[in-house]
């Protein structure tokens, strides 16, 4: 896809969102099915199910996906798709590349070993390794625009209110 094709694809969407802002509020949803016997959850994704369970650092055996990894995968995927769209719109030809999301969490907090230890990822690093002919400044602008428009990155930076029901 080139910049013109992307503009043609997005133009009617942008017009609709300008005319009817409420139509730009897109619902997102995830659901898991609980499996008490294995302490795991089946994540019902668009491309099939993924089973998430305890990380080995929390007592798991390593055969199931770790929820922290799933979060980092969502971040890397969103940043990658956003970067591809921004590169296309900017006329920057990418031959390929990688987006790497890494993080760390303290198992002491998760297991209740130390109440002062945090629960959750405490540091996330996002790196871009791009295969293109764009100069350093153009690549920096591409990464900055990706940062600006990546839904998952902005959600992590500006967390929404989360409510619990049930």
Q: Which of 69, 67, 87, 68 is nearest to 79 (CA)?
A: 87
Q: Is residue 4 domain-resident?
A: no
Q: Is residue 144 domain-resident?
A: yes
Structure tokens at 121: 């990822």
Q: For residues 76 and 101, give the distance between their C-alpha atoms in angstroms, rounded to a whole number.
A: 6
Q: Is residue 3 domain-resident?
A: no
Read off the pLDDT of each residue in 80-89 and give the average, rounded to a whole number. Answer: 97
Give the DSSP letter string of 15-36: HHHHH-GGGG-------EEEET
| 166 pLDDT above the threshold of 90 | no
Q: Is residue 118 domain-resident?
A: yes
Q: Is residue 30 domain-resident?
A: no
Give Cβ neighbours of residue 96 (< 8 Å, ≥ 6 apart): 131
Q: Is residue 163 domain-resident?
A: no
Read off the pLDDT of each residue in 28-48 and give the average, rounded to a whole number. Answer: 93
Which domain range does residue 148 map to?
66-157
Q: Is residue 73 domain-resident?
A: yes
Q: Is residue 129 domain-resident?
A: yes
We report the CATH number of the domain holding residue 124 as 3.30.300.20
pLDDT per residue as tens digits for the range 129-159: 999 999 999 999 999 999 999 999 999 999 9
Number of compact structural domains in the chain = 1
Among residues of the chain, what percentage have pLDDT more than 90?
97
Rg for the chain (alpha carbons), in Å? 19
**What residue ranges in the chain does DSSP mark as E strands?**
32-35, 40-45, 48-53, 94-105, 121-132
């Amino acid at each position: 896809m080139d910049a013109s094709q992307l503009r043609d694809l997005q133009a009617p969407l942008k017009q609709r969102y300008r005319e009817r802002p409420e139509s730009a509020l897109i619902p997102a949803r995830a659901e898991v099915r609980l499996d008490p016997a294995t302490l795991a959850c089946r994540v019902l994704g668009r491309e099939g199910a993924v089973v998430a369970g305890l990380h080995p650092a929390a007592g798991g055996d390593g055969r199931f996906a770790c929820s922290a990894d799933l979060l980092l995968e969502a971040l890397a995927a969103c940043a990658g798709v956003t970067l591809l769209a921004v590169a296309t719109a900017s006329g920057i030809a990418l031959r390929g590349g990688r987006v790497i999301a890494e993080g760390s969490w303290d198992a002491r907090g998760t297991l209740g070993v130390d109440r002062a230890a945090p629960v959750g990822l405490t540091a996330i690093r996002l790196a871009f390794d791009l295969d293109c002919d764009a100069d350093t400044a153009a690549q920096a602008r591409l990464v900055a625009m990706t940062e600006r428009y990546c839904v998952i990155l902005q959600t992590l930076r500006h967390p929404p209110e989360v409510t619990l029901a049930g």
